Structure 1
Amino acid sequence: MEKSIVSAVLEKLGSLLMIPEEIKQKVELALALEEEIGKVTVHFQGIQSVLQDAESKQVKDANVRNWLKRLKDIAYDVDDVLDEWRSAKLKPELDKEEKEAENFPLFKKIRRSISSLTFQTMLYYNIASKIKNINQQLDWVATEKDRYKFELEKEVEEPGRLITASFVDEDEVYGRLEETTVLVNMLVGENSSGVSRLDVISIVGMGGIGKTTLAQRVYNHRDVECHFDKRIWICVSDPFDEMRIAKEILEAFRGECPKLVGKDNILQEIRSCVLGKKMLLVLDDVWTEDATKWEQLKNSLKYCSLGSRILITTRNEKVAIIMGTPPSNLFLLNTLSQEECWSLLGHKALCGRTGEESKNLEDIGRKIAEKCQGLPLAAKILGGLLRFKKTREQWQLVLDSEIWDIEEAEQDLFPPLSLSYYELPLVLKQCISYCVVFPKDTIISKDELIKLWMAQDYLKGVQGEEMEIVGDEYFDELKMRSFFQDFKRDELDNGIMEYKMHDLVHDFLQVLTKTECLMIVNNGFEESKVDSYCERARHATLVRKEAAPTEPNIYHFKKLRSLFIDSSYHDTSSLSPYLPKLFDQLTCLRTLNLSNSLFRNSIEELPDEIGKLVHLRYLNLKNNRKLKELPESLCELCNLQTLNLKWCDSLKELPCGVGKIINLRHLENERTDLSLMAMPKGIGRLTNLQTLSVFVVADSNNAATLGDLQNLMHLRGLLKISGLGAVCDMAEAKKAELQKKQGLRALILDFTISKGVMSRRRQRTNDEKVLEALQPPPCLEKLEIWCYSSLTMFPNWMMGLTKLSHISLGSCLHLKSLPPLGTLPSLESLYIGEMSTVKVVKVQFLGVEREETSALPSSLETPLSSFIAFPSLKHLEFFDLKGWECWMPLTIREEEHVTVMPRLCSLTIGCCPKLMSLPNYILQNTSLKELDITRSPILSERCRKETGEDWLKISHIPSIIIDSLYIQVNNTSVEEFGVLQLQPLHSSSLSSENFLKAFTQN
């Protein structure tokens, strides 16, 4: 950690030496500043060269730990000074840009230039003074460095690794019966890949989870012993020495150490040995990510007999892939159940005790086993520890203690966890260590975590690479190394949305960062003793168990870079009186989370003092539903990258000067369009924006227009444009240039006229022209259109959206006919709702051009030849089409090869009282698994069990719900069950941006 901070500071120091020419003319100031910066640089360069040795020695030497702590504090102070300098230098530039368009008299411009020069001169004097003070502290650190006689940087001496063997004591193994069976079947079953005679299977999991034990168990399984001609066990560890591994393979075949010299000779000999043999090779504890070290050796093994296997154990999924493991052969090992954990712990802890003694200790032992969180290694270690604790009172002490307070447990559990940690590059150590700011068992959003890493300046990446992309790569790297678990995936794109961290990994990281990251449980903010080291803490999470009128003691932590207020127990409203002082004191903050998780009372006003947090990069105000405005001082936060305003649905407006926050990348404002009147004019200056959840259009000279979206070329993900009903100027809509925003994946176009905007009804054709002008990029995947008022909806660009997978069309009250969506090749889910003027769904909806009611003889019509309508559609819903009477059938002639909705899984029809029947291509669709008809009496009657006209046509559908009555259909019987009456899934009250997820989950 110290090394990464020092490296980051050294990288930034160079920027201070670029002193403007006008300041260089003040020779004394320039020389003094350059001299002080030079001293800091020399100090840090000298310290950096010995940091590896220092970090390894701190484990045993408390003095070295203290030295490193002092160094880290100074590095943070330098970073603060550099950040302060950069921010102060940027401020006058922003003010100048803001006033550039205004006409100032010449004398005012001259006066402002003189004022700016004076400001810069004072700023340099201030910076020079602070750096001089830091140098005085560094003198002491450098002197102490020499006293400790650290060695210069070399290869890191890694923690010792246990060399494993194939033997296992079955009496010491608990659980894993199902996993053993599955793995044995994978080893002795038929060739799984179908293309290779040497399949690779990998067991992947975190340190201490039991990968080696499971591998030993299957290696010695009777079926495995009988199946293979030769079994070989090699502990690989790190580094991956291919020559050593090759010689061990030969030794296993020949019975003696080979005397051959040269890699080629050895590999040729391996080829001869394995030829025609069915072989199992276990490579335990593989770490290498260098495929070249493995390829030649693997090629020499490919001459074995069909059915041979290589079994690998690794902590890193990436390693498994590099070693040639196909996805079907990745065996991700999970933790033990609580019962299995207790069996393992109890076996060791109760060994040699009488039945009565064991019974007396079992209840406490089970609770201690829960602390192991399913990690076999922890259960073994604590079981061995408890074995020598004789009394119930001694066991209770272990239960009441944090696991890392137990010295024996710490010594034994540290090595396997620290192996994974110390293998990480510096940047990943920073990233994973930061995760301890979250309480245990917190479900963490991946995207939010990446934004938090950005705020701490952890995501450097290569030049020109987006920080968010770097963060995504870092997350995947840590995931593959088993630092995260319990992933929740996005239903739509299968990407990881949320995750958790194993409790023992969290505990381990807490030990490493205990003076830097604090978890403060504060009952009513009562004053408590603040240790001196806490005053230098950098990251803190405040868990407020009670809301009380006393001031929080968090003011003592003046060096904090992150502050999370946990509102799980009490809303944020009680914080309001203390915020001015909080912002006045904690001026080093980069991250501030004031989100309100209870959806109750919230902060009503953000004080002007927020502008003092000049370092702030991340501000989370989510769910503060009583917050009505943001102060203009917020716009002084030129470093701000993320502003989260989700569900601040009382917010009337954004600050006028928002355009000054030029580093803003993510403006998360879902649901603010319920209250926002407009967007401020300056929003078009935020050219770094990647997230803009909602853009509100208003017919006002003082507000931003659609054209202000033009410069926001980096927008990605979801964009909702609301208030489109107020747009009369087609040129403004075209000026938005949505088609050039290649990062957009979801677009919501809401033609509702915003509150406070003129109520006059525009011509209905305006919506049609605006929709045509708002052409999205071709890579769009999700599209929603709401409250569209024109009679037809068929923009020229719609059929070109070949990647479009989800569409929602709602509250289009004047629409007469549905657009021909059947030709969209990737469309998977479609919702159509609240369209009272649609009477007939014609065959054109399928993408068919002919009219079924045509009076022309069939001989004069052009046949369809080969055609698939809605080739990918899985979910279809119609809701509240009160005028809908007819769903036109499609007559397919003998010479035509037409398929309709071949992948349709679910059809939902609600509140369609006039609909007479369903077409045959729906009724007889064999892929249909769910049919739900509600509040559509004519259609319901036709589909009634056994009595309805269409019952025989739909009886093949496994799940049928008619007016909340669930009909279970199987081969021999039909059963009816009452079901809970649900509200319509896609009523207008539902958040439109949540529609797609709700639709697929339904």
Structure 2
Amino acid sequence: MAEGLTAGDWFGSAIIRRLVDDARSIEEAGHFDSKIQFMLRELQSTLGGIQGWINDAERGLTSDPAQSVLLRQLREAFYEADDLLDEFHFRTLSKKVWHIPSSSMLVLFCDVWGIPSSFMDFKNLVSFLRGRQNLKNLVGELKRISDHAKHNYVSVDHGRERIVRPETASFLLTSDIIGREEEKEEIVRVLLSSDGWYKGGAGSRRGRDIDVLPLVGIGGVGKTTLAQLVYNDERLAEHFFIRAWCYVSADFDIRRILKRLLCFLSNDLSDTISDMEPIIMKLKKAMSGKRFFVVFDDVWDESPAHWEMLRGILTCGEEGSKVLVTTRSAKVAHIMGTMSPIMVGGLSEYEFRALLQCSAFGYGNRDLEESKKLEPIGVQIYRELGGLPLAAKVLGFLLRTNVDEHIWRAISEGELWERDFFQRELLSTLKLSYQHLNANLRQCFSYCSIFPRGYMFEKHKLVQMWVAQGYIKLDDRREMILEDIGSQWFDELMQRFFFQPAEENRYVMHGLMHDLAVYISSGDCSVVEDESRNILRKVRHLRVRTDKLEVLTEMIKIKNLRTLLFFGDCDSHEFSKVLEGMFIYLKDLRVLDLSSTPIEKLPDSFGGLLHLRYLDISNTKIRLLPTSFSRLFHLQVLNLQGCHFQELPKGMNKLINLRYLYGDSEIVSLIEGIGELTNLHYIEEFPVRQKRGHGIGELENLMNLRRISIKNLENVKTKEEAKKAKLKNKRNLKALQLEWSSPTRNRLDVEEDVLEGLEPPPNLKELSITGYDGIALPGCLQSFTSLTLLMVSHYHHKTSISLSDLKALEKLHLEDCPELSIPGGLHSLANLKKLHIEGCPMLNESSLPKQPDMEKGLQSLTDLCIDDSILLNDGWVLLGSLSSLKILNFQHFNHLGYFSKEQELWFHQLTSIQELGISNCRSLGHLPADLSTLLSLKKLSITNCPKIMSLPENGLPISLEDLQISGCPELEERCSEGGPDWIKIARIPRVRVTAAVTMKT
């Protein structure tokens, strides 16, 4: 944390719980002498005493300088304790791996002197004795801090300075509201309607109930202002007999809420009634039989029981009564809402800049010269702040009081948190969301500050890093693994808008949320760039983006690093040498990402990184791993993708904690005896070989597998051999890929026997079968009723599969299966979201839903990729009915020369389409004439369509952000810069025309 470290910003309670659990686990294992066992108990007791003080401190924000000093000391002691306990745990793993016999003379000697038998050489013995002394010193230091805290900070609640949002009211503070007119009209329309958009979930409408519409969004996005605009609309005043506004805040006190409503309804400002019963009776009398509209502003409480009680009281109103809720939590919206929530986003660029100008120069009284200065900077500020209205107002005030253009430029470049006013006004709003997180989520959120602004997060990778840092521990839900818990925590952060979905399986953090994470984590997390200031010596998590060797050399002095991530290009032999020499010093690393760096080898000292749990060396020039690599007993994640190894160390099967192994078949085939890695959850590719230590039987004991791709199944010769994998016993297995790389030369029924012998578990979620050459697909396919994804490709025998029982199916991919048919078609797949059919001529339009079933089948479909066998006649009718479709790809439409008027009519009913791809349509002469009417379209790709000569006369949609053209010679020439069609695309932010080498970003 920063120099002014406060417990309210910290997450010490989460660290204490983890340390106590680790100390107890090591003590109960009983691998160490009585002195260490005693000190481990002392450590648990001392940490327990500190726990109460930290819990109290985290509930408030005291700025006592003396307490800040104590907290910094405590933080350092916690890190030291974590390292020590991890070292002790490493020693127990060593004994387990090397199978030290209890009857050896060495063990007897160690027992006499109270030394664990895993220390078989002098170096290890010295290390153990040093560790025992360090543990003794640590316990003493923690006791000193605990005693000091007890005597000086009996209660930190006195003078607590917790951030509290000012209470809101129904009236607008200013009439000069910019934007939000469309959103307001939509909300008013819904509130005045008699039906609404009903949804499933906790708050679903039940009988005689009230309609609840949630407004959800990040802090500062303008939810309250929008609610005020709606509340004061004259149409609502005429429609509802009663209107009331109630500011709820974090304290969902039902008595207080009911009394506020009572004040609105009866003008009774008396505070004398305290009992709930008379308040409820009085309120029901005032509301009974009347149509009302109530706004509950700023709701945080996620307890369904609290809302149920309040909802039950409000049902006394007339049917048609409405409630509007504003919240930062999607979970609150799910609990309270009976109608689909409205997600409140940022302002448009025009609206944001207008609000910024008004805030900087006054409403209707602008300095034109100063306003012109602001124009180019306003664009950059909008991109940095994501259209947040509160940010525009706060920055507008800053710019009003600092007319120096240098100040404006600094703000546009992200130097925001150094401005006191900005911290006070905007930080306090965002920090409210942070304060409502528990200590575990605070820790996970603050860690994200080491990633760049705008970084696309992959959930599973971030969760793996949280696990590697020890942030996530198993709770009482023993059936869950660490990554499952971490995934839930990530989802909770996303529900509170710390993360936002960006594209498939990727997420982004709002720019201001990233700035908040940087502010919160300063002192623990840092970034090194070419112009970086001096790095704090006690920083723990570091991101590096520099090609300056002197900066890299300076990093070696930071010996406490736990995370080291490299971003950017730094391709030089000297750079590689510096990297290789770093690991002698960086002994505390838990997470190391060297992907795409110029490093050429890992030194022999690399095996000394005994804390290392996450290692990514993908796409590097490393060809050999040191023999010491097999001593990384804590390693959980190993990414070797894109590497070309000559061999791997023989002891790779000693990495007993390895959970995730990323690498292609060639890499995995270098690991002999992979079946000993019984903690494996994921193997990217497992190639079956007819060689000892590489057969299908290696999978027998890997009972923790969650995902696996098994290749070269032609090397499995019998059903009995296939059964050795024991897939049916792997109850945690969710995703399975089966691949035959070449046809067997045995009997035609061999592959049928092998597939039957593999016998996947019945609760499988994802199944992919590629290159299978059996006479028929197994009939058991339809028994996998939990499947959400099914892929069958390169299957050439005449057969059929029934999908009628696969009600949960969300993704279906069928490719190069010329004789495959589906009796009953796709009519029953109501939950299907993604459909890819290519090279399957038997699956023609007869497989699609027909009238009157069209509205029932495929209505959840959002992503469709098809060839011309599907869309003949009635298929186009179906296409026009897919109201949820967002991604559409046409490929191999070999007989389509142009779009008929009827086809274009159905085509242009796809108002929700965001991405359109047209590829390998070699007869197609032109694009749809009215593409410009698809106002949701953001991405258009045209590939290998040589007869398309030009873009439509009406141009392309104004919404288009990304255009890609390749393999279309005439069109490429016309769309090159200066070409006849360039004027139609010059405004598009991203244009890629391959042959013309036109690139604009």
TM-score by length of 1: 0.79
1:797-812 paired onto structure 2 within 5 Å: 797-804=780-787, 806-812=789-795
Query: How far apart are residue 65 of structure 1 and its match?
Result: 2.2
Over the aligned positions, Cα root-mean-square deviation in angstroms equals 4.1
Instruction: Describe the superposition over 1:78-113 as per-residue Cα deviations: whole angstroms up to 9, x where unpaired.
Output: 11000001101210221118x99xxxx988998999
**In 2, Cα distance between equivalents of 1:132 and 1:95:** 28
Query: How far apart are residue 257 of structure 1 and its match?
Result: 3.2
Query: How far apart are residue 764 of structure 1 and its match?
Result: 4.8
Secondary structure in 1 matching 2:397: helix
Match of 2:314 in 1: 301
Identify which range, 816-825 or 636-645, moves more after superposition.
Answer: 816-825
Match of 2:762 in 1: 778
Match of 1:560 in 2: 561
Contact 2:302/2:332 (8 A) holds in 1:
yes
Secondary structure in 2 matching 1:611: helix
1:687-836 paired onto structure 2 within 5 Å: 687-701=678-692, 703-717=693-707, 719-752=708-741, 761-790=745-774, 792-804=775-787, 806-812=789-795, 815-821=796-802, 825-826=806-807
Q: 1:794 to 1:206 in 2, by over 3 A?
A: closer
Query: How far apart are residue 728 of structure 1 and its match?
Result: 2.4
Query: How far apart are residue 189 of structure 1 and its match?
Result: 2.0
The reply to whether residue 231 of structure 1 matches residue 243 of structure 2 is yes
Instruction: Describe the superposition over 1:633-657 as per-residue Cα deviations: whole angstroms up to 9, x where unpaired.
Output: 2221111121122333x24555432
Match of 2:636 in 1: 641
Instruction: Describe the superposition over 1:314-341 as per-residue Cα deviations: whole angstroms up to 9, x where unpaired.
Output: 111112222x203x43111112233322
Q: 1:84 to 1:302 in 2, by over 3 A?
A: same
Query: How far apart are residue 387 of structure 1 and its match?
Result: 2.5
**In 2, Cα distance between equivalents of 1:113 and 1:132:** 21
Match of 1:312 in 2: 325
Q: 1:925 to 1:511 in 2, by over 3 A?
A: closer
Q: 1:488 to 1:236 in 2, by over 3 A?
A: same
The reply to whether residue 612 of structure 1 matches residue 612 of structure 2 is no
**In 2, Cα distance between equivalents of 1:61 and 1:152:** 10
Tell me how many residue pairs correspond in the alignment: 880
**In 1, Cα distance between equivalents of 2:15 and 2:375:** 47
1:119-268 paired onto structure 2 within 5 Å: 119=119, 125-135=129-139, 137-138=141-142, 141-142=145-146, 145=149, 148-151=152-155, 158-192=162-196, 193=198, 195-257=207-269, 260=273, 262-268=275-281
Match of 1:990 in 2: none
Match of 1:543 in 2: 545
Contact 1:197/1:304 (8 A) holds in 2:
no
**In 2, Cα distance between equivalents of 1:260 and 1:171:** 37
Letter in 1 for 2:219: G
Which has the greater radius of gyration?
1
1:85-100 paired onto structure 2 within 5 Å: 85-96=88-99
Instruction: Describe the superposition over 1:235-265 as per-residue Cα deviations: whole angstroms up to 9, x where unpaired.
Output: 1113111111111212212111355553222
Instruction: Describe the superposition over 1:454-501 as per-residue Cα deviations: whole angstroms up to 9, x where unpaired.
Output: 111111241323111211221121112221124434xxxxxxx22111
Equivalent position to 1:505, from 476, 501, 513: 513
Match of 1:986 in 2: none
Contact 2:924/2:945 (8 A) holds in 1:
no
Contact 1:184/1:224 (8 A) holds in 2:
yes
Contact 1:652/1:677 (8 A) holds in 2:
no
**In 2, Cα distance between equivalents of 1:589 and 1:781:** 35
Secondary structure in 1 matching 2:564: strand
Letter in 2 for 1:778: P
Q: 1:318 to 1:823 in 2, by over 3 A?
A: closer
The reply to whether residue 980 of structure 1 matches residue 943 of structure 2 is yes
Q: Which runs of 5+ in 1 are unaligned?
A: 25-29, 490-496, 754-758, 848-866, 892-896, 911-917, 972-976, 984-1002
Contact 1:591/1:616 (8 A) holds in 2:
yes
The reply to whether residue 662 of structure 1 matches residue 656 of structure 2 is yes
Contact 1:9/1:79 (8 A) holds in 2:
yes
Query: How far apart are residue 349 of structure 1 and its match?
Result: 1.6
Contact 2:591/2:612 (8 A) holds in 1:
yes
Q: 1:172 to 1:484 in 2, by over 3 A?
A: farther
Contact 1:924/1:954 (8 A) holds in 2:
no
Secondary structure in 2 matching 1:273: helix
Secondary structure in 1 matching 2:293: strand
Q: Which runs of 5+ in 2 are unaligned?
A: 1-10, 199-204, 881-887, 909-917, 931-939, 947-1001
Query: How far apart are residue 831 of structure 1 and its match?
Result: 5.5
Match of 1:376 in 2: 389
Query: How far apart are residue 952 of structure 1 and its match?
Result: 12
Q: 1:73 to 1:150 in 2, by over 3 A?
A: same
Letter in 1 for 2:637: T
Match of 1:877 in 2: 837
Secondary structure in 2 matching 1:447: helix
Secondary structure in 2 matching 1:595: coil
Q: 1:925 to 1:42 in 2, by over 3 A?
A: closer
Query: How far apart are residue 576 of structure 1 and its match?
Result: 3.1
Q: 1:269 to 1:556 in 2, by over 3 A?
A: same
Letter in 1 for 2:683: L
Secondary structure in 1 matching 2:799: coil
Q: 1:431 to 1:888 in 2, by over 3 A?
A: closer
Instruction: Describe the superposition over 1:436-468 as per-residue Cα deviations: whole angstroms up to 9, x where unpaired.
Output: 111111010111111111111111241323111
Q: 1:689 to 1:59 in 2, by over 3 A?
A: same
Contact 1:191/1:197 (8 A) holds in 2:
no
Letter in 2 for 1:706: I
Q: 1:261 to 1:78 in 2, by over 3 A?
A: closer
Q: 1:216 to 1:573 in 2, by over 3 A?
A: farther
- Give the fraction of aligned pairs with identical amino acids, expressed as a percent: 30
Instruction: Describe the superposition over 1:211-253 as per-residue Cα deviations: whole angstroms up to 9, x where unpaired.
Output: 1111111111122222211111111113111111111212212
Q: 1:809 to 1:239 in 2, by over 3 A?
A: closer
Identify which range, 338-347 or 232-241, moves more after superposition.
Answer: 338-347
Identify which range, 346-355 or 270-279, moves more after superposition.
Answer: 346-355
Letter in 2 for 1:621: I
**In 2, Cα distance between equivalents of 1:903 and 1:414:** 45
Contact 1:561/1:591 (8 A) holds in 2:
yes
Secondary structure in 2 matching 1:552: helix
Instruction: Describe the superposition over 1:700-745 as per-residue Cα deviations: whole angstroms up to 9, x where unpaired.
Output: 12x321112122222224x211122222243221111223334434
Match of 1:914 in 2: none
Instruction: Describe the superposition over 1:8-62 as per-residue Cα deviations: whole angstroms up to 9, x where unpaired.
Output: 22333334545848x65xxxxx34x456545544543443332355557876334
Letter in 1 for 2:757: A
Secondary structure in 1 matching 2:583: helix
Contact 1:54/1:150 (8 A) holds in 2:
no
**In 1, Cα distance between equivalents of 2:259 and 2:876:** 62
Equivalent position to 1:469, from 484, 489, 510: 484
Secondary structure in 2 matching 1:374: coil
Secondary structure in 1 matching 2:417: helix
**In 1, Cα distance between equivalents of 2:98 and 2:233:** 75
Instruction: Describe the superposition over 1:781-823 as per-residue Cα deviations: whole angstroms up to 9, x where unpaired.
Output: 4433333345x133343343344465444445xx442344566
Letter in 2 for 1:981: N
Q: 1:91 to 1:275 in 2, by over 3 A?
A: same
**In 1, Cα distance between equivalents of 2:893 and 2:216:** 51
